Amino acid sequence: MVVRIRLSRFGRRKLPFYRIRVADARSPRDGKFLENVGTYNPLPTDGGAKHVTLKVDRVKHWLACGAQPTATVAKLLAEANILPAPAVPDKGPQHGVSRADAKKE
């Protein structure tokens, strides 16, 4: 059984709120889960910060058990210094011509 640490959406339309959950990879996004390990509010507060709460000991436990975080959760865990920062993929050479270059020609 592949276990993932992922986001489950709550809140209403245009006001998202997420719970960070440990779930089987085959279960739907808002479906059956094993444990809640935190919350994430992506809307910035007055200070401009996004609010993340984590049960750090439980997150470390699930990571030690082999749970794989999704890309977004891995980024949040890196900000909390639980995981190393994910590698940024190199986009390589750009194909095509930009609009500014096309106007010059």
Mean pLDDT computed over 24-36: 89
- Do 54 and 38 meet the contact criterion of CB atoms below 8 Å apart? yes
Q: Is the pLDDT of residue 80 over 60?
A: yes
- Do 82 and 58 meet the contact criterion of CB atoms below 8 Å apart? no
* Residue 63, CA atoms < 13 Å, CB-side half-sphere: 15
67 to each of 18, 62, 75, how far by Cα in Å? 19, 5, 15
In the prediction, which pLDDT does 90 show?
A: 62
In the prediction, which pLDDT does 36 show?
A: 95
Higher pLDDT, 49 or 95: 49
- Do 64 and 3 meet the contact criterion of CB atoms below 8 Å apart? no
Instruction: Using DSSP, state whether 70 is helix, strand or coil.
Output: coil
